[in-house]
Amino acid sequence: MPLKFAILGPGRIADVSLAPALTAQEDACLWSVLSRDRARAEDFTRRHGARSAQPAHTDLDALLADPELDAVLIASPDKLHMPQAIAAAKAGRHVLTEKPMATERADARAMVEACREANVRLGVGYHMRWHAGHRKLAAMAHAGEFGDLRHMRLQWARKHESDANWRAQPDVGRWWGLAGVGTHCVDQVRWFMLPSCGEVTSVQSVINRSVWNSPHDETAVLALQFENGATAEICTSVLFDAPRVMEVYGSEGRAICTDTLGPAGGGGIVTADGPLAFDVADPYVGEIADFVAAVREGRDPEVAGAEGVRNVEILLAAIDAQ
């Protein structure tokens, strides 16, 4: 039997990436959908082939009461993640949540505790870990093929034409560019560097909010330092277009990733020895496959709740450190 998922929030990421990735699974399926707008939920379920006899919902409790439902995939705005995750856990449903998992440290920790008490799995959707090139590169870094890791640099920016994006507003979000893409950059840095560099011990930042006077970050530049002294730099922005770049520097080598950051699983990677070959594959498919396997095997997903909590703590430190 496939693992039956409900998607909470049929927005763009759910429509373009998450629902298709669920459809691509042999061991999982889209079962139902929650939206504030029933017509929108019904349209989403039709287009993506939700399998429940009554797949469209506007009430979370009614959706969670379905005895056939196994898990929820939370794709709602950031400040809704915590109450939805806790409700799902109390109903005995496994939880895979989009990132960042919460907007407060206490909320993120409450999500972890609720899932632990209910004995359900909790995963956080950092799909960039399933970019085939990044996985190959991370394995090389962890094996010491670049020597001692010294520094990483990530730049991820995309120009927005206005501040109409919900992340620019304080009612359902806490960060703008940092929530949209910066949280992925933090996760990539920690994934690559933690095994050999230790924990992040310092977060410094410069935050610009001056173009639209947003309450949230428009451009953010973060500097991180690890226990062993290694460093990382992250730049995100909604004010300009720029190449999406991830750079890895070690004492014995380096790698430059261009346009690998994003949903498609493509781009190019070049090391000091030349281009690094990898298969282009949908990283969302890998993310969901790992979560399904974690549920089946009774283990934590690769990106479990504790890692999501630490990511939230770093994002909070970034806006507090300016």
Q: What is the 3-state composition of the chain as percent helix, strand, coil, each rounded to the nearest 5? A: 40, 25, 35
Range of the domain at 263: 129-281+303-320
**Of 116, 128, 102, the residue nearest 314 (C-alpha):** 102
Half-sphere exposure of 279 (CA within 13 A, CB side): 5
73 and 213 together in one domain:
no
170: phi then psi, degrees, rounded to nearest 5: -85, -10
Residue-wise burial string across 129-167, b where 16 or more C-beta atoms lie within 10 A, e elsewhere: bbbbbbbbbbebbbeeebeebbebbbbbbbebeebebeb
- Find, among 316, 302, 149, 126, the residue nearest to 226 by Cα: 149
Let me know whether 116 and 243 are in one domain.
no
Count the Cβ atoms, other than its own, within 10 Å of residue 50: 26
Please give the helix or strand (H or E) that residue 62 lies within, else none: helix 60-64
Structural domains of the chain, count: 2
Q: Are residues 251 and 265 in the same domain?
A: yes
Same domain, 116 and 164: no
Q: Are residues 120 and 190 in the same domain?
A: no
Whether 189 and 242 share a structural domain:
yes
The per-residue pLDDT string of the chain (322 residues; one tens digit each, 9 = 90 and over) reads 899 999 999 999 999 999 999 999 999 999 999 999 999 999 999 999 999 999 999 999 999 999 999 999 999 999 999 999 999 999 999 999 999 999 999 999 999 999 999 999 999 999 999 999 999 999 999 999 999 999 999 999 999 999 999 999 999 999 999 999 999 999 999 999 999 999 999 999 999 999 999 999 999 999 999 999 999 999 999 999 999 999 999 999 999 999 999 999 999 999 999 999 999 999 999 999 999 999 999 999 999 999 999 999 999 999 986 6
In this structure, the answer to whether residues 273 and 171 fall within a common structural domain is yes
> Is residue 223 within 8 Å of residue 231, measured between CB atoms?
yes
One domain for residues 89 and 154: no
The answer on 100 and 183 residing in a single domain is no
Find the CATH number of the domain harbouring 164: 3.30.360.10
Q: What is the pTM (predicted TM-score) of this model?
A: 0.97
Are residues 116 and 136 both part of a single domain?
no
The reply to whether 233 and 86 lie within a common domain is no
Q: Does 171 lie in the same domain as 54? A: no
